[in-house]
């Protein structure tokens, strides 16, 4: 019998600013999930200002009742957020009316349905102050890089490789790559994480789902600044899949992701324990937590706070050093994102104000001047 693991998340209002979630919101979510008859088990967690609902049940992915449950919880949390005047109350709820699925309505979703194995270790990754493409680099390392994952070399059930499903978030299309044969083709796309995101990974040996991520572009959906999409990702581990340590290893080398202050900067993704997950320096740097669970008949045994390990201290130190350096660049690229990738900009207003002060230069301008002089003669 199959079970479904659903992680649905949203920013319902920050405490203080965009740094964390107020305990009363977590209590509200906890109470609603406890009252639901739909679930086998659940956990409420947060990273920065984003609430994660981690749920197990038997209804498959995209189940309207489960999505509705999450949506209603976010609505109830919004009431509390309004009462406390938390920052951006209801920030990630882009619609007033629920229409069967929270996809495209603001909250992020990662879900997978599978037959629970003899032992079923899973990791729920959650990040704040960044976007779904932030998973491209670590998912690539976990499932395609033998220098990260020795299992690809020496585990007979991994040696065939994995299938990667990639979404184009601009054109709303999906495409699959079979690795290792199509590794170079895959990299052409996922090296551009603002547009192409790894949505899911499947084992070629068993055909089973191995990883799934939340993919959306909030600002494209809303048409205005609504913060970053602060993504989640589920990775199943061991026996034919990456070991837990292989799934965590990519984060030991903090990679650069888009997000941070006002969703408009590049910064290192810092792996942290759950009690270090409130980003405050320049609203960052971007953060990722890893919650490990053993599933037992759908029960969530855990979480184990996987990045709390002192072995990730060095990664945090490196991330802090990178953050320091990037901050010294202030409003200059590549710390600040290119104009077209920023979540908000004053460019149109500044442009309008200065419109009449822009004077043409270059060859065309010289030709025009010459023509005007001839005409005057």
Residues marked active site are found at 11, 225, 228
Distance CA 299, CA 41 (A): 5
Q: Which range, of 106-114, 226-234, 241-249, 358-366, touches ligand 13P by CB under 6 A?
A: 226-234
Q: Which of residues 52-81 bind ligand 13P (CB under 6 A)?
A: none
Out of 111, 120, 128, 249, the residue judged to bind ligand 13P by CB under 6 A: 128
Min dist. Cβ of residue 260 to ligand 13P (A)? 7
Burial 214-242 (b: 16+ CB within 10 A, else e): bbbbbbebeeeebbbbbbbbbbbbbbbbb
Taking CB under 6 A as the rule, does residue 230 contact ligand 13P?
yes
Which residues neighbour 361 within 8 Å (Cβ) at sequence distance 6 or greater?
none
Place of tokens 């054109």: 171
State the binding partner of 262 from Mg ion, ligand 13P, none, CB within 5 to 8 A by kind.
Answer: ligand 13P
Min dist. Cβ of residue 14 to Mg ion (A)? 4
> Which residue in 51, 48, 69, 44 sits closest to 10, CA to CA?
51
Q: Note whether 14 and 129 are within 8 A (CB).
A: no
State the binding partner of 107 from Mg ion, ligand 13P, none, CB within 5 to 8 A by kind.
Answer: none
Q: Which of residues 66-95 bind Mg ion (CB under 5 A)?
A: 88
Residues 152-171: x where in contact with Mg ion by CB under 5 A, - otherwise, as a string = --------------------
Q: Which of residues 2-21 bind Mg ion (CB under 5 A)?
A: 11, 14, 18
User: Which residue's CB is nearer to ligand 13P, number 48 or number 254?
Assistant: 48
Out of 13, 151, 263, 271, the residue judged to bind ligand 13P by CB under 6 A: 263
Size of interface with ligand 13P, in residues (CB under 6 A): 13
Min dist. Cβ of residue 99 to ligand 13P (A)? 23
The length of the chain, given as a count of residues:
377
Q: β-pairing, 299-305 with 162-168?
A: unpaired
Place of tokens 């390392």: 141
Taking CB under 6 A as the rule, does residue 133 contact ligand 13P?
no
Q: Which range, of 19-27, 65-73, 229-237, 367-375, touches Mg ion by CB under 5 A?
A: 229-237
Distance CA 274, CA 106 (A): 24
Residues 282-301: x where in contact with ligand 13P by CB under 6 A, - otherwise, as a string = -x------------------
> Which residue in 10, 266, 259, 277 sits closest to 129, CA to CA?
259
Angle, helices 183-190/136-144, rounded to nearest 10 degrees: 170
Taking CB under 6 A as the rule, does residue 227 contact ligand 13P?
yes
Out of 43, 228, 236, 336, the residue judged to bind ligand 13P by CB under 6 A: 228
User: Which residue's CB is nearer to ligand 13P, number 93 or number 261?
Assistant: 261
Out of 3, 33, 47, 49, the residue judged to bind ligand 13P by CB under 6 A: 49
Out of 41, 111, 120, 128, the residue judged to bind Mg ion by CB under 5 A: 128
Min dist. Cβ of residue 92 to ligand 13P (A)? 8
Size of interface with Mg ion, in residues (CB under 5 A): 11
Binding positions for Mg ion, rule: CB under 5 A: 11, 14, 18, 48-50, 88, 128, 227-228, 230
Binding positions for ligand 13P, rule: CB under 6 A: 11, 18, 48-49, 128-129, 227-228, 230, 261-263, 283
């Amino acid at each position: 019998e199959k079970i479904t693991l659903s992680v649905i998340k949203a920013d319902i209002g920050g405490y203080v600013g965009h740094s964390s979630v107020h305990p009363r919101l977590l209590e509200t979510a906890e109470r609603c999930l406890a009252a639901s008859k739909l679930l086998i088990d659940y956990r409420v967690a947060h990273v920065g200002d984003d609430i994660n609902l981690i749920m197990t049940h038997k209804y498959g992915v995209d189940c309207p009742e489960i999505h509705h449950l999450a949506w209603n919880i976010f609505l109830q949390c919004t009431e509390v957020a309004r009462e406390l005047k938390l920052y951006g109350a209801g920030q990630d709820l882009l619609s007033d009316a629920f229409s069967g699925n929270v996809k495209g309505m603001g909250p992020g979703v990662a879900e997978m349905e599978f037959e629970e194995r003899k032992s079923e270790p899973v990791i729920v990754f959650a990040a704040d102050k960044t976007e779904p493409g932030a998973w491209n680099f670590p998912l690539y390392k976990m499932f395609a890089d033998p220098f990260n994952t020795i299992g690809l070399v020496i585990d007979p059930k991994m040696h065939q490789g994995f299938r990667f499903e990639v979404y184009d978030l601009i054109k709303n299309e999906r495409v699959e790559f079979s690795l290792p044969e199509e590794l170079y083709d895959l990299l052409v796309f996922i090296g551009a994480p603002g547009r192409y995101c790894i949505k899911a990974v499947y084992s070629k040996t068993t055909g089973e789902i191995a990883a799934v991520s939340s993919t959306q572009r909030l600002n494209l959906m809303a048409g205005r600044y609504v913060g970053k999409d602060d993504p989640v990702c589920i990775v199943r581990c061991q026996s034919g899949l990456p070991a837990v340590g292989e799934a965590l290893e990519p984060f030991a080398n903090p990679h650069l992701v888009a997000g941070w202050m006002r969703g408009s900067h590049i910064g290192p993704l810092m792996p942290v324990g759950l009690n270090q997950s409130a980003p405050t320096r320049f609203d960052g740097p971007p953060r990722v937590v890893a919650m490990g669970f053993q599933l037992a008949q759908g029960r969530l045994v855990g979480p184990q706070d996987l990045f709390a390990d002192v072995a990730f201290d060095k990664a945090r130190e490196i991330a802090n050093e990178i953050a320091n350096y990037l901050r010294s660049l202030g409003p200059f690229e590549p710390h600040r994102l290119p104009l077209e990738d920023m979540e908000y900009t004053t460019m149109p207003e500044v442009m309008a104000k200065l419109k009449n002060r822009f004077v043409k230069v270059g060859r065309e301008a010289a030709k025009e001047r010459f023509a005007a002089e001839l005409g005057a003669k």
